[in-house]
Amino acid sequence: MPRTRLHIAGTYSAESLLELDGDKARYLGRVLRLRVGDSVSVFDGEGSEYAATISGIGRSGATLRVGNRIASKTETDLRVHLVQGISRGERMDFVVQKATELGVKRITPVLTEYGVVKLDSKRAEKRRDHWQKVAASACEQSGRVRLPLVDTPVSLKTWLGNKPGQVDAELILKPGATTPLARIHAPETKVCVLIGPEGGFSDVEYEDADIAGFQPVSLGPRVLRTETAAIAVLAILQSLWGDLG
């Protein structure tokens, strides 16, 4: 049976004692029904993972004793920044989850002209916190030791005006584009990919992306759902230049 993995932020090392409460303690005791002496592993989300043993567990809390560090080879060298048009309901959760499993380094949710999701600043922060938890859970499941950064949602126009530099390939999915994604030259540092929401990008947004230096690419003759497109793009990139090849 695979060892249970828990993301626990903070700084710790061998022989540290970690006190857990809330959801994580309930998960260990009530869901998994683990007991004193059972083994788990903990990772800080910054690249370090350790073996750990349950040294105490009760109704409202648990204590873990940290053991030796565990070597991990689950992080890809390919740096992919996914800029994703926000979709409704569980679709965005699905994108964050699967993108994390496929090794994405950063996810920027963007509000677009045709997007049906509208967020004020307070709700945007709450959604970011939620998606960061989704990413942490996906890391626990997939074996990753570094959490992808999930940005606070922002309008696409605002993001394009302040986009990060030092990117080798800046790509935008566009139905009918003449350049297949697989023909893009291999990047030396980072790839940034723009994917629209359910209704796609508007003509103005495509123009803004073109001015910002983004190259239109296609995934073939079929129009994919936004969540399917994200998975397909990341799988292709990892197959071409990452650790799925």
Structural fold of domain 4-69: Ribosomal Protein L25; Chain P (2.40.240)
The neighbour count for residue 210, using CB atoms within 10 Å, is: 13
Four-way CATH pick for 79-241: 3.40.1280.10, 3.30.70.2520, 3.40.1500.10, 1.10.150.120: 3.40.1280.10
pLDDT tens, position by position, 83-123: 999 998 899 999 999 999 999 999 999 999 998 888 888 99
The parts of the chain modelled with pLDDT lower than 70 are: 1-2
Residue 104's alpha-carbon distances to 128, 144, 183, in angstroms, are: 16, 11, 20
Q: Residue 2: its pLDDT value, please? A: 62
> Could you write out the DSSP letters of every residue in 123-139?
HHHHHHHHHHHHHHHHH
Domain layout of the chain by residue ranges: 4-69, 79-241
pLDDT of residue 23: 87
Cross-sheet strand order for the sheet of 61-69 = 4-7, 39-43, 49-57, 61-69, 17-21
Mean pLDDT, the chain, as a whole number?
Answer: 94
Give me the residue label for tokens 């049906």: 116
**8 Å CB contact between 116 and 197:** yes
Residue in the block written with tokens 């990753």: 144
Judge contact between 34 and 54, C-beta under 8 A: yes
CA distance 240 to 76: 12
Whether 38 contacts 3, CB under 8 Å: no
